Amino acid sequence: MRTPQVVVLEPDGWIARNLGDLAAEGGWLIRRARSVATARSLVNDRQPCVLLVQVELSEEQLLPFQFLAEVRRNVPDVAIVVVSETKLNDADRVAWTATLFELGARFVLFPPLTRPVLEDVVSGLMTATIRRTLGEEAIPAGRTTATKSPPEPDEVIDLADEEVYE
């Protein structure tokens, strides 16, 4: 069986470093690329479960966006997560998110990005992809790619319940 993998296209290594513990716990590999050409090679050769692409959202930089469309077209089973380097106002976030979804992204994350959010998104995508491609038995009992167990029913706070705040 091939080891499940995540390919991360980023300039600085922050995403890959923050996913290291989760990858070790889940039993999968992280492959890091600094260029689109390297990421393209990794995606085509390794067929990862998840592709994370850190981009500066700018109309001048077309290469990462062309790469996303290419991955969607050539390797449709790869779950794409786009991580923006740029803080945007709400209207621009909506416009860029719609564009990136059309290019094949399943998630678009904007700053400020925290490690737990990043881990939850990647963990969920890895688990879903592994189960979809290899079946439920592919994840051994007692081992999960999730970082924590779901909250107990009494730990959930219903913000719509106004009696709590009176």
pLDDT-flagged residues of the chain (< 50): 141-151, 153-166
Q: What is the pLDDT of residues 25-34, one digit of tens each?
A: 988 899 999 9
- 5-165 CATH fold: Rossmann fold (3.40.50)
What per-residue string of b and e applies to 10-42 under the rule 16 or more CB within 10 Å gives b?
A: beeeebbebbeebbeebebebbbbeebeebbeb
CA torsion sign for 86, 87, 90, 91 is negative
Q: What is the pLDDT of residues 112-145, one digit of tens each?
A: 889 999 999 999 999 888 787 766 555 554 444 4
- Cα separation, 52 vs 17, in Å, equals 13
Domain ranges of the chain: 5-165
